[in-house]
Amino acid sequence: MKFFFPDSQDLIDPSFDFARERRSTTRKRQRDDLYAHEVFASTPFDGFLVSKGIVDGYGALGSRYTLAQRHRLLRLGAPEFFRIDQASRKLSIMGDCGAFTYVKEDEPPYSVEEVLDFYGNCRFDYGISLDHVILLYKPEADARDASRDLVPEAMRARRELTLRLAREFLQKHKSGRYSFEPMGVAQGWSPMSYASSVKDLQKMGYRSVALGGMVPLKTPDLLLCLQAIHDVTKPGLQLHLLGITRTEHLKEFARLGITSFDSTSPLRQAFKDDKDNYYTPEKNYTALRIPQVEGNPALQRKVSSGAVSQDVARKLEKACLEVMRLFDAGQRSVEEALSVLMEYERFYDPGSKKMHEVAYRETLTDAPWRKCPCDVCRELGYHVVLFRGAERNRRRGFHNVWSFHRQLEKQLGLRQGSAA
């Protein structure tokens, strides 16, 4: 089972000085910053997933690429743009439309020709057909005597549109002689509707199918859908799960025919989650929040409004950084470090019901970064568990991707560092 890492232009600056919080003055992002596969001796994924919606941007969701980067991607192609020759394993690149970026629209904002040209120009290995997400789950609609009214016509129309676009995508892929492998998208609102979509895609001639719209499903519902799909799949059909990890069920996914999946969760939890910020095989830990007085928007607003003193904030911020340096050197105890961290938290977030004292004590007591063999933790040390600025947070996200991939290999009984 292969793990594809979704691209959002998450890179790290190797020149960043964590002691002085400064970058090299000669640093150029595209030339000098590193992708995750350039950080680790053993690449912790099998390929990239690149979304047209992320590259181009749509509506309120702006592009994660500059105009120059978009032009460079299309001019050079994805393999050279992402420097995949630097990876320790052969990486594949999959393209999709980023359907969640236009989910509120009546129809996708792209044409099939535009999508095909995007995939072709980027030199992807796989390209997912143009689709429209169905934001509904109604398993009771599968009952023999179920009313058709259970599923609104707008949702039924999305499924039919997705299948129609898949047929057009495959026909024009063949006539245009594109080199990438075409993947049809199955959308549905129940186990049987998903299975029906997969059957239709197989009849069209697809050998690879991506399963979309399943991210909101609870695991039991997800497994019911996968079982229904498994019951209708032909031998050799490749199935990709869009946006789903759920490590504890990987063996079940494999049994039901899933051959690949993608997810941003390991990366995003590093700085989006309130507690599960740092992965280990045994448990997840809460990162230690030391917001930058000048760099944290929420804290800066409080300073600007006069709600908190900038001088006091700087003093407490500096004290937290110093106590963590001393703690890691063995010169401060867990309780001493915790006292300083909590003083700062009570200052910048007074009255919060989400104080992190218990979680911080656990992180400090276990000091998981000291035991982690990954390249990020060995180089960064305790900075990896500091919730503070993009350079630390992204590196923690990279560590999570590495840790997740190790769990994937363990769950599937693969040799550590082998291809999944």
Give catalytic residue positions: 96, 262
With 0-12 CB in 10 A as exposed, 13-18 as middle and 19+ as buried, what is 204? Answer: middle
Q: Tell me the C-alpha distance between 325 and 332, whole Å.
A: 9
Pairing of strands 284-285, 278-279: antiparallel
Backbone phi and psi for residue 260, each to the nearest 5 degrees, phi listed first: -160, 165
Rounded to 5, what percent of the chain is helix, strand, coil? 50, 10, 40
C-alpha dist (Å) from residue 253 to 1, 68, 241: 9, 40, 9
Radius of gyration of the chain (CA): 23
C-alpha dist (Å) from residue 350 to 170, 306, 315: 57, 14, 17
Do residues 289 and 37 touch, judged by C-beta distance below 8 A? no
Please name which of 372, 368, 373, 409 lies closest in space to residue 45, comparing C-alpha atoms: 409
Amino acid at 331: Q
Where do the H-state alpha helices sit in 219-264?
A: 219-230, 250-255
Helix axes 191-204, 219-230, angle to 10 degrees: 40
Place of tokens 């979704």: 6
Identify the helix (H) or strand (E) that includes residue 340: helix 334-348
Tokens of 270: 């590093």
Where do the H-state alpha helices sit in 142-218?
A: 153-176, 191-204
Do residues 132 and 162 touch, judged by C-beta distance below 8 A? yes
